[in-house]
A and B are shown apart, each in its own frame.
Chain A
Amino acid sequence: MDQRFEGTPRAEVRREGQRLIRGEVANDWGSQLVWSIRRNGEVVATVPARAEEVIEFPDATPGSYEAVLRLFHYEGYEKDKDGKYTKSKFVDVSNPVVWTV
């Protein structure tokens, strides 16, 4: 049988100073969990989130920032000729945290 991820994972995140803090992930699929951090809409950092519930993000480059927790959603092993998944993908599982530098 192939795996089928069911349910909807959900976590709460917040920012305190330079720290990004996440809570436990409800309905956790157990796949790769990352912080995705954007500045002015562009991804500037993807940081592993599984092992730590708190990360430091001290980047002081001016701009509008958004951080969100993302979890890999497996829907099949298929990939295109460049090795990118065609069905499986990361999905947002938290509220976004926004701030401006």
Chain B
Amino acid sequence: MLHLGHERVPVCGDVTRRSFLQAGAATMTGAAALSLPAVLSLEAAGAVEASKQEIRNCITIFLVGSPGQVDTWDMKPDAPAEIRGKFKPIATNVNGIQICEHFPLMARMMDKVALIRSLHHNTGATHENGQRWMMTGHDFNADSMKPHSGSVLSRVFGNRGMLPASVVLPEKIGNTGAGPLHGQSAAYLGSSHEPFFLQSDPSRADFKVSDLTPPAGQTEFRINARKELLKQIDNVQRKVETNSELGRDTAYARAFNLLTSPEAKTAFDLTKEDDRTRNRYGRNTLGQSCLMARRLIERGSRYVTVNHFETVFNISCWDMHADGGSLNNTYADYEQLLCPQFDWAFTALIEDLEQRGLLKETVVCVLSEFGRTPGLNPRGGRDHHPGVWTNFMVGGPIRGGQVIGSSDKTGARPQNQPILPPQILASIYHAMGIDLETTMMPGPGSRPIRLVEAEPISQLFS
């Protein structure tokens, strides 16, 4: 028996294929940049029943630009100075595990964290390659795009309540140097499973969610009046048009509902949080995005991606080339901004989820595109290096306090238990409660395919 989402489908005979095609066809629409009504319209078209089995949530913090493994979570204090770099390791609350001195708060919760120190990929060292691997579990070209993991979860689990199943905060990834394919679309799953992109900075005093904020001058009365008018038009259309148009109909209704829904507005409204909580996450883009992620998960979203930066150019970010130009990130950025900001926000999120009883049902992943060169470049920076890097997972069924895999003595290659990106995605899906052997999704050409061609990392769960 297969599951298409949570619809059980026999795997043999004509019935299987017909059932599959029926279920899949509704979602076979083109992906595009979408407004909220468009997202909702296609969500309705592809919605699957909410599962009765245990489903967990996921918050992914994606460190765009990619921190250097040797400077953060896989330090090499015995290596030569040109490799080990400037920072020093500190002990954590788990014997034998050390991390960078600029993550002092994370060091105190290492018993909850599973570090994966042998992650690598074998394709080109562009940001986009790494993003595609880590956001979809696949490498691909424009003619074979694969869906974002949040879109897969949307397809498998469907929606809970008013909120989109998959949300990306604060912005989708933009220019990272080598093209537009970042792996943040629903691809062939169809626009109904496109993530909802906030496209706004929740740390700003004037923050508003554009899709949830009525245009200037429009009161709720006027919105409802327009809704009624649209309903009348749609009633006429309904008599003559197809089922897909009905989906659009429903979507507009849901968009209007979102516009006026106290539940949705509340989920995105950080002013509902007390100042102490907002301070604890950090009054910056990452911190307030992490806080919003918790609010969204708490209120029904399944999968929230927090991009720590949407570009690598002309900003302070993890892409530490120290090139003196538009990529002039250095140890100063790591020490004074990036590491402290991450340490403060990440630990706030974990503490907050735990205090609310949400950590056991929420998997938190910290992912990046690749590692950085073990040797410092002549300017004191580090360049792209997919040869090995460290990412980590917390929460849900993840067993913390462990290190999976290792890199060699200079942090250049995996030494033990090499891990590839699809294994991370398989582990996320497994951690969220998906049986990868029985849960399939429609692939290109309407044939059922596995969510990802890899097995979960068993050590994470043992």
Contacts and interface: CB of A to CB of B under 8 A. Distances in A.
Nearest to A9: B283
B458 to A, nearest CB: 34
A76 to B, nearest CB: 8
A97 to B, nearest CB: 22
Given A2-B314, A3-B284, A85 B279 contact: no
Interface in B360-414: 380
Contact of B329 (A7, A76, A77): A77
B218 interface: no
A92 to B, nearest CB: 15
B283 A50 contact: no
Interface in B306-320: 310, 314-317
Contact of B104 (A26, A31, A51, A84): A51
Given A33-B340, A48-B104, A50-B105, A26 B329 contact: no
Contacts of A9: 283
Q: How large is the interface on B (under 10, 10 to 19, 20 to 34, 35 or more residues)?
A: 35 or more
Interface stretch (B14-22, B112-120, B125-133, B198-206): B198-206
Nearest to A84: B332
Given A6-B204, A32-B337, A77 B279 contact: no
B332 A85 contact: yes
Given A3-B285, A6-B203, A50-B104, A28 B330 contact: no
A3 B104 CA distance: 23
A24 B335 CA distance: 21
Interface in B162-209: 170-171, 201, 203-205
Contacts of B429: none
A31 B314 contact: no
11 contacts: A3-B285, A3-B315, A4-B204, A5-B283, A7-B205, A27-B275, A28-B280, A28-B283, A29-B283, A51-B105, A77-B314
Interface of A: 1-7, 9, 24-33, 48, 50-51, 72, 74, 76-79, 81, 83-85, 88, 90
- A-B pairs, top 8 by smallest CB distance, nearest first, are A30-B282, A51-B104, A77-B316, A30-B344, A28-B279, A72-B336, A32-B336, A32-B340
